Amino acid sequence: MAFPGILSSMNWMAGVSPVASEQPKTILPRKINEFETTANGSTILWVIQDTYEGQTFFNTFDFYTGPDPTNGLVTFLDQQAAFNQSLAYVTTDNKVIMKGDDTSWLPSGTNRSSVRISSQAEYNMGLFVLDLDMAPWGCGVWPAFWTLGSGEWPWTGEIDIIEGVHNNQNNQVTWHTAPGCNLTQTTNFTGTIVQTNGVDNLQCNAFIDDNAGCGVTEWSRASYGPYFDDQGGGVFVMRWDENGITVWSFYRAAVPQDIVQGEPEPSNWGEPVAALSNQSCNITQYFANHSIVFDITFCGDWAGNSYATSGCPGTCEATLMDPSNFVNASWIINSLKVYKQVLLSGSVSNAAQMNPIMSLTMTGWMFSVVAFLHLVHFSL
């Protein structure tokens, strides 16, 4: 969510600069007989750790009420005030709603009320799967779904998974870190590296370039804004392990069946939209103890500084006064699920090469292990 104040000099859709052919591609985990495996042959399973959904969604989140560190013209409400003003609630059909105030006319210079929440749980690696019908958008609106390390920022890192401003159509994924973590151009992903003055922002270092971080803009116009909402929303996934941090997004009609069934298998999903590999960043060193954050702010360092070139009318400060400008500034969330990685020693591939019957037996055993781990989780 942290963002620079020099957005007028950035080219958000610039192409990736050519890279010498001799540079190696980042090696990702491989897939054998439908099971993802590590380089040493261990099989990777993703087992549910935490589920945030329905009537209990807000029970394990804290409401932030401090000033906006990105200088937004916003007042973040506490839980009771947000509930009382219907800026945070769960519908009877278990849709989780968080929104900016869209009913109050404001005098000039007055902040608009909104919500920012952080998970009580902290995570070190995992697979984070957000299913939502709507993400906020509109002139002057700046939402984010992100994770943030504990302690002094940015020494434990920040991962912006969904972020955009105004009526943009393309989501931006960004990492902000201490010095020394860099984006690797040769990593396979479908998005476009964000540039400043025609140069790729490869350094995630939050202390340079007015905290631009290292960002990737998604290619799909269904990844943010009106079109994402119009076609029924979708699913965003962030995978974080020692090999790197990768993000996928799927509009509603393209959500993989394994995600729908609660048995995510990232190796089935193709190239991610954005990826930070361990080739140029020690993931375990720069990212630790992250809580999950949702927020909606207004104007501020990004939406305010880019307003004049956004195609939105008037000024951001004037737009803030009229509540009708914020009817689309809402999160509508179906669920957020966090999966943990379980490594099982041994490879299914050897069994498959030796005997098809043994391969079938191993496959059944693997699914039995997954079912058992799920049962253990739900019984706790």
Mind listing the pLDDT tens digit for each residue in 74-120?
A: 999 999 999 999 999 999 999 999 999 999 999 999 999 999 999 99
Task: Give the single-character DSSP code of 111.
Answer: P
How far from the centroid of its chain's Cα atoms is residue 358's Cα?
40
Amino acid 95: pLDDT = 98
Active site residue 317: no
SS3 193: strand
User: Are the CB atoms for 249 and 270 separated by under 8 Å?
Assistant: no
Amino acid 38: pLDDT = 81
Q: Which two tokens stand for residue 119?
A: 């998970």
Amino acid 263: pLDDT = 96
Measured CA to CA, the distance from residue 181 to residue 175 in angstroms comes to 9
Amino acid 354: pLDDT = 36
Task: Spell 177-202 as b/e; 16+ CB within 10 A means b.
Answer: bbeebbbbeebebbbbbbbbeeebbb
Active site residue 22: no
Amino acid 42: pLDDT = 87
Measured CA to CA, the distance from residue 297 to residue 301 in angstroms comes to 10
CATH code for the part of the protein at 7-346 = 2.60.120.200
Tens of pLDDT along 320-372?
Answer: 999 999 999 999 999 999 999 999 886 544 444 434 433 333 444 454 555 55
Q: What is the dihedral of CA 32, 34, 35, 37, to 10 degrees?
A: 30
Report which secondary-structure segment, H or E, holds 319: helix 316-319
Strand 192-193 and strand 214-217: pairing?
A: antiparallel
**Whole-structure pTM value:** 0.85
> Which residue ranges in the chain fall short of pLDDT 50?
4-28, 30-33, 348-365, 367
Task: State the catalytic residue, choosing from 158, 218, 263, 265.
Answer: 158
Task: State the catalytic residue, choosing from 163, 218, 263, 265.
Answer: 163
Q: Which two tokens stand for residue 283?
A: 């993931």
Measured CA to CA, the distance from residue 377 to residue 10 in angstroms comes to 46
Amino acid 2: pLDDT = 61
Amino acid 373: pLDDT = 53
User: Are the CB atoms for 12 and 197 separated by under 8 Å?
Assistant: no
Q: Residue 280: left if φ>0, alpha if ψ -120 to 50, beta else—which one?
A: alpha
Report which secondary-structure segment, H or E, holds 292: strand 290-298
Amino acid 371: pLDDT = 53
Report which secondary-structure segment, H or E, holds 277: strand 274-277
Q: How far is CA 210 from CA 2, 213, 362, in A?
A: 10, 8, 53
Amino acid 23: pLDDT = 38
Nearest to 245 by CA among 82, 151, 123, 328: 123
